[in-house]
Amino acid sequence: MKRSASERVRRMIRKSESRRPKTRRCPTIPLEVDEQIKGEIPEEVLSATSEDTLFLDLETTGLMAHRSLTAMIGILYRRNDTLRLRQWYSGDVSTERKQLDRLYQWMASFRTVVTYNGDGFDLPFLRHRAQWHGLETENEPQSVDLLPIIRRHYKKKWPNCRLVTAEERLLGIPRCADDVPGSEAPLRFQDLREGSPLEVITPIYTHNRRDLISLVSLHHRLVAPILMGE
Amino acid sequence: MNQNPNSDASIYDADKAISSTSGFTVNSVQRKGSAPTPLEVLHGVEARMGSAEELVSRYAIPARDAEFAQTTPDLDPQIIDHLKASGTWPLYRHQARSLTKSLSGEDVVIASSTASGKTLCCTLPVIDAMVKEPGAHALLLYPTKALSQDQHRHLRGLIDGIGLSLETGIYDGDTEPTLRRRLRRSGRIILTNPDMLHASVLPNHGGWGAFFANLRYVVIDEVHTLRGIFGSHVASVLRRLRRICRHHGSDPTFIAASATIQNPGEHVSRLIGRDVKVIEDDGSPRGHKEVVLWNPPVIEKPDGTLARRGPTSVAVKLLPELVRRGLRTICFARTRNSVELILRYIRERAKGARDREEVADRIEPYRAGYLPSERRQTEASLFDGQLGGVVSTSALEVGIDVGGLDGCIIVGWPGSVCSFMQQAGRAGRRQGESLVFLIAGQDPIDQWFVRHPDSLHESSPENAVIETDNPYIVARHLICAAYELPLSGEDSDLLGEDLTAMCTVLQEEKRLREEGGAWYLAREEYPATQVKLRTASEENFTILELGPENVIGELDYVAAMLSLYEGAIYIHRAETFIVEEMDHVNCLVKIRRTKTGYYTQVLTQKKVTVTEEWSHREVPGAGSRLAEVEVRTRLTGYKKVRFHSTENIGYGEVHLPPLELDTVSHEISLNRDTVLQSERFGTAFLRSGMHGVARLFRDLLAMRAMCDPGDIDHHVDDNLIHIFDLYPGGIGYSELGHELHLSMMSDVLEAVTECPCAAGCPACVLPGASRIESALEAEVLEYPFPKEATRWLLHLLLGKESYEPQLEGIPAPCENPMIPVPPLLDARVERKIRKVARLTSRRGRQR
């Protein structure tokens, strides 16, 4: 590019900057959780869970993949007697690329990915976002979506088939009082990007963690018997 | 082979012309057996209405036979059957060639005259793809909303006629959200405009389902309107479109249609970014056409001075006469106000005589400012022959099919050869005789054509010019593109080889951020809303009539400011209304019906203020400076003008904020010494010289910058000549002027010296159009030796030894600029006039 042209562009950008009202840059928070969970689920459940299984739950800034961000990727898997929880936050598109790239590389080493409504939402959402970034999406493990199984068995018996309901009815664990519904996540992410303190998304982290741990137990309860031919 | 029934028709043989049935004759109105032919009407008009002095020249464009295709394009049999059944078979030669190319996947541009069947060249391949490939989609781009409406009706007619079931629709700012959702999900053919594509469709490409993955064709109609800054923006938008298509795995074929311009192939190749085939050899038949140049008579005014009558005075008599004798006629006026005045005068003249009133009732106005539904109504009734005539602004010049008309009256030079050909093309579309009248106005450029009538049919249409590497435009669209998909080096084949360098700069300026070899927006934003493809504001004022409390129209922001200030008399469909309130917050204007004997004209004053100086250097006789400026057009008041006599009967005040433009200007500030030296010739001499230099500098700069002359403006004030970009934030033209100051000045001197005129002509130093701005303008316009003044000044500005001006001899042809004052010119008209001036100047030098 000719030097003069680049000078002109610089000047134009600076000009337009000085005219526009100052907007806050979205914070790229190095929010990365890497937790070793012990003793939160029964021993027999843990030992029955394959190390090849990845539990996945996304929190996004909206439902439409073409205008939302994968704001948080939560994954959980077993290593020996502990569950490893990882949660990766992305506050902007360029960080999202980094996180998605990493996720797809990780997923390649697992045989199955367990989700709740993953076939309907999480996995297509991920695929759409990854394609937008021009990333390969071929390394996806076999999907096990628990929602259709719950629907098949309990649709007529329960008021709804939400994950919280399944937890209560099948596992007998009520959600703690301070749990926020997952639908609040987009608003809280937006608050954060608009300058609210980090605390606004702390409940999302705990919610996501709770969901993932429940997935392990539900998976054991629903899928393991089928595999064992019960 | 099917011969065109009209091919051997004598031009005087009315019956043949009427009975001909080839092509589209759905709207043919059978003339009564005894009705005169257009040529007979012309003989009558010549004999009774105009003196030989007034009828300056007349030339004929002879009839031409249809050239039919020898080969059959590979269209689906269903489509061919439909074309045969509807009488559109065989195809013309150029249609068949264009279809064959499109069907084999080649990009084409069809450049041919009005009514040569361009629409079919665009729509048939699209429909063919829909039939052959169940998943195919197509995108059709039209420059205006009205045109999309019109073309959608045609397309539906064709689709329903063939008996296909296809979801199609218009996707623009007026589309309801529910319909938008449906079109995004299942629309097969989408009609929209470049602005909507840029601001809404491309940024949300992910929400368009299968559309982009299966896009087979992109049709761009009226590509000749995509020129200048607007065209350059559209070029970037189309590159973004191609990138999105590539992402989704499609590579659509482009089909473009253009009016006759000098460079269709080059223009469209630059626009879409790859080579196109040009289809030019028009095979459609054409009826005999007579073009008459009419100069209104000179009359003696009450104070004994002589003045030429305005062109409307002729139109007011001529239009009802043509309509009365059975010729369906369109009359083009240059401004909205003239449209209303012509109609009002026609209605007034008809009062009292029943037969004349009947004629006047069959003439309707058409301009921006009416409700869209009213405009559709007028288009339709003109098309089906209910209307005898229509008075219109250039709004009806582009595209919209109003059927074949018998006559066309052009009131005042429309500003460019291209416009003139388009307007004249509205008359006599397929066969039969037709008449075109060009009524000269008082502007120097109009009178120049009167003196050189040959150049009217010898002139070739203008080039359409766009700039595809303007960093201001490209950088803005890169930011938009980064929102749509991350940018990477691989995009440089579409977005320019400087892509990486540009992105690096944008990254340093914190607008983009790099991650894993791709550039992303550095912050959350929707950049498309900050980039406007056209400078015109999209805000509309609604016009409410108090009393019946009816909304009677809507007008865009600038037009509203200039004609709907409180106290203004607004003429709407020939009725007068007074503006009672202009509500800026709600964009609402309240008017009340009232009878007045006058109308109003706003008075404006332009002021250029420097806000920041970027660079400065001394040049001979002056300082040359590049600066950021604020151009304020202040509405200083209005004057009341009596109908007919156009005398001034009073003034009023306007309390409105000024129209503002922040841009970049090249400033030439004359030295004290230069100003002192000019004093012996008088102030008018210097002013006239400064205007001469400014005007030519601007036109030649436009040529150097390869931009549309209407994208640059000039202003002369005190000892300053300002030459500035007509685009918010500037777009680089005035910078080029500043860089090339001296070499531009020698070009200007060369243009003046080599122009063969004696004292100045519109091709060199004369202003392209009279303006109403201030007394100073009049002083300049009336100055008899503008060429000498300009020459003198140029010698100083080039540091040459001083030039001795010849201030005697034949004065420049000054056409009484003060009487009667033409209505305020809108910017587009002004731009067109300048374009012509530039064109004629080129011819002048070749001689």
B523·A26 Cβ contact <8 A:
yes
Predicted pLDDT at B762? 61
What pLDDT, on the 0 to 100 scale, is given for residue B92?
93
Cβ contact B518–A193 (<8 Å): no
* Percentage above 70 pLDDT, chain B: 87
Residues B410 and B552 in one domain: no
B70 belongs to a structural domain = no
Contact A66 B206 (CB under 8 A): yes
Among B220, B250, B279, identify where a domain stops.
B279
The verdict on A27 touching B (C-beta cutoff 8 Å) is no
User: CB-based contact (8 Å) between A102 and chain B?
Assistant: no
Q: Are residues B806 and B732 in the same domain?
A: yes
SS (H, E, C) B145-200: HHHHHHHHHHHHHHHHHHCCCCCEEECCCCCCHHHHHHHHHHCCEEEECHHHHHHH
Inter-chain residue contact B204 with A66, CB threshold 8 Å: yes
Pick B675 or B825 by higher pLDDT.
B675
Closest residue in chain A to residue B485, using alpha carbons only: A132
Burial class (CB in 10 A: 0-12, 13-18, 19+), B785: buried
Both B802 and B821 in one domain: the answer is: yes
CB-nearest to B505 from A10, A23, A66 is A10
How far is it, in rounded angstroms, from Cα B388 to Cα B376? 16
CATH number at residue B553: 2.40.10
Whether residue B274 is predicted with pLDDT greater than 80 in this model: the reply is: yes
CATH code: domain of residue B272? 3.40.50.300
- At residue B240 the predicted structure's pLDDT band, cuts being 50, 70 and 90, is very high
| B26 is a domain residue | no
Q: Write out chain A residues lying below 8 Å of B628, CB-based.
A: 15
Q: How far apart are CA B505 and CA B475, in angstroms?
A: 10
Contact A97 B475 (CB under 8 A): no
Of B471, B485, B525, the CB nearest to A132: B485
> Residue B207: closest CA among chain A residues belongs to which residue?
A66
- Is there a domain that residue B22 lies in? no
List the domain range (segments joined by +) for residue B124: 77-279
Q: How far is C-alpha B117 from the geometric centre of its chain's CA atoms?
A: 22
Q: Are residues B705 and B775 in the same domain?
A: yes
Domains and CATH numbers, chain A: 24-227 (3.30.420.10)
Pairwise pLDDT comparison (B501 vs A15), residue with the higher score: B501
Q: With the CA atoms of B100, B102, B107 and B113 taken in that order, what torsion angle do they form, in degrees rounded to the nearest 10?
A: 80
In this prediction, residues B620-634 reach a mean pLDDT of 91
Does residue B9 register a pLDDT over 50?
no
Highest mean predicted confidence (pLDDT) among A158-172, B313-327, B635-649: B313-327
**Residue B612 and residue B576 share a domain:** no
The more confidently predicted of residues B536 and B583 is: B583
The pLDDT tens digits for B556-594 are 888 888 889 999 999 999 899 999 999 888 889 999 999
Residue B23 counted as domain residue: no
Whether residue B82 sits in one domain with residue B175: yes
In 3D, which of B159, B158, B160, B180 has the Cα closest to residue B169? B180
Residue A9 with chain B: CB contacts under 8 Å = 471-472, 475, 502, 505-506, 509
Q: Which of B37-41, B116-120, B453-457, B484-488 is the most confident on average? A: B484-488
Instruction: Please count the residue pairs, one from chain A and one from chain B, whose beta carbons lie less than 8 angstroms apart.
Output: 94
Alpha carbon distance B201, B248 (integer Å): 14
Residues B637 and B703 in one domain: yes
Residue type, B210: A
Query: Which CATH number fits the domain that encloses residue B494?
Result: 1.10.10
Chain-wide mean pLDDT for chain B?
Answer: 84
**Residue to test with chain B: of A9, A69, A97, most B Cβ within 10 A:** A9
Cβ contact B502–A10 (<8 Å): no
Last residue of a domain, one of B479, B503, B530: B530
Q: Rounded distance, CA B121 to CA B112, Å?
A: 11
All residues of chain B having their beta carbon less than 8 Å from the beta carbon of residue A68 are none
Indicate whether B641 belongs to any domain: yes
Residue B690 lies in a domain: yes
Same domain for B154 and B180: yes
Nearest chain A residue to B736 by CA distance is A4
pLDDT of A67 > 90? The answer is no
Helix/strand/coil for B664:
strand
Same domain for B617 and B746: yes
d(C-alpha B242, C-alpha B477), whole Å: 13
> Residue B187 has what pLDDT?
95
CB atoms within 10 A of CB B674: 17
Domain boundary among B596, B618, B634: B596
Cα B357 to Cα A127: distance, rounded to the nearest angstrom: 70
> Alpha carbon of B472 to those of B537, B684, B741: distances in Å?
20, 39, 21
The single residue listed with the structure tokens 């929880």 is: A85
- Residues 725-754 of chain B whose Cβ lies under 8 A from any Cβ of chain A: 729-730, 732, 735
Q: Per the domain annotation, does B392 fall within a domain?
A: yes
Looking at the structure, do residues B249 and B349 belong to the same domain, yes or no? Answer: no
pLDDT tens-digit series, residues A150-173: 998 888 888 888 888 888 888 887
Least CA distance to B502: which residue of chain A?
A6
**Predicted local distance difference test score (pLDDT) of residue B363:** 95
- Tokens representing B269 are 């190749």
Predicted pLDDT at B752: 87
Q: Using a CB–CB cutoff of 8 Å, tell me whether B630 touches chain A.
A: no
* Alpha carbon of B731: minimum distance to chain A alpha carbons (Å): 9
B336-350 and B311-324 helices, crossing angle to 10°: 60
The closest of B481, B476, B482 to B512, measured between CA atoms, is B482
Tell me which H or E stretch contains B219: strand B215-220
- Which residue from B384, B389, B382 is spatially nearest to B25, judged by alpha carbons? B384
Number of domains in chain B: 5
Chain A touched by B522 (CB under 8 Å)? yes
A63 near B CB under 8 A: no
Structure ipTM: 0.80
Least confident of B74-88, B233-247, B727-741: B727-741
Question: Which chain B residues have a beta carbon less than 8 Å from that of A98?
Answer: 515-516
Judgement on whether residues B291 and B265 belong to the same structural domain of the protein: no
Query: Which residue is associated with the tokens 């250039």?
Result: B394
For residues B55 and B179, which has the higher predicted lDDT (pLDDT)? Answer: B179
The SS3 assignment for B1 reads coil
Within-domain flag for B832: yes
Whole-prediction pTM value? 0.81
Cα separation of the two ends of chain B: 47
Average pLDDT over residues B118-142: 95
Note the pLDDT of residue B34.
62
Position B527 pLDDT exceeds 80: yes
B210 vs A: CB within 8 A: no
Q: Write down the pLDDT at residue B21.
A: 35
Q: State mean pLDDT over B705-726.
A: 85
Q: Which of B505, B508, B519, B526 to mutate to test the interface with A (most CBs of A within 10 A)?
A: B505
Contact status of B502 with chain A (Cβ, < 8 Å): yes
Cα angle B471-B730-B478, degrees, rounded to a multiple of 5: 30
Highest mean pLDDT out of B29-38, B693-702, B804-813: B693-702
User: Could you read off the pLDDT of B99-117 as tens digits, one per residue?
Assistant: 999 999 999 999 988 778 8
Q: In B490-587, where do the E strands start and end?
A: 512-515, 518-521, 540-546, 550-556, 569-572, 575-583
* CA distances, B483 to each of B117, B171, B203, B314, B371 (Å): 39, 21, 7, 56, 36
Q: What is the pLDDT of residues B243-266, one digit of tens each?
A: 999 999 999 999 999 988 888 999
B623 DSSP assignment: E
pLDDT value of residue B158: 94
Same domain, yes or no: B358 and B316: yes
